[in-house]
A and B are shown apart, each in its own frame.
Chain A
């Protein structure tokens, strides 16, 4: 049974960076993409982008372009999301989720069938 295990909560200063990890426990992510979604306190869900480890390809939402970097280490089945130039509005729970799209990942978007439990990132001076 594959699980997505995320790293622990972080407290960061404005202007700094945070790197959140997401490890596929009990399996590998060679055939799927990992998407990152965030949720500000009491708010809805916001898609940030995804990485396809099989193709070493990323897609980012325009809103985060230039500030976000998604990477993956296939040897450890771990995906990473780094967000820089943090501001208070980036305070949120950051979720990783799986797009189980296989080879279709390269040419299409997909739904998210498995989610990590989330990582709370607090940005405060």
Chain B
């Protein structure tokens, strides 16, 4: 199984500042055949289902604000939230869909400082 490890477990950022969440996979999620990283990011607010933010490691889902961006390749990935807004308070999960079983990181809680 591919283990996904996020850091930190939680972070507090001032409004308007940048939040950075790291995600590392225990093996590569880069598929050479199509040159894609099988890595997604989700946002989950309390009492709500997860919401897709980013797929293929860096492609923003339609309707997601452009302050959210994803980067990285292979085994190391980053979710960046530029200019944090109050509505961004949530838990963020990375997920690999390279191989079964599909696995998620443990989540990173983002709060306002």
Contact = CB atoms under 8 A, between A and B. Distances in A.
Interface of A: 35, 37, 44-47, 59, 61-63, 95, 97, 109-118
B95 A45 contact: yes
B2 to A, nearest CB: 11
B93 A45 contact: yes
Contacts of A97: 49-50
Q: What class of interface size applies to chain B in its complex with A?
A: 20 to 34
B80 to A, nearest CB: 19
Given A47-B101, A61-B100, A61-B101, 8 more contacts: A37-B50, A47-B102, A95-B49, A111-B52, A111-B97, A112-B40, A115-B49, A115-B50
B61 A113 contact: yes
A115 B52 CA distance: 9
Contact of A47 (B38, B98, B104): B104
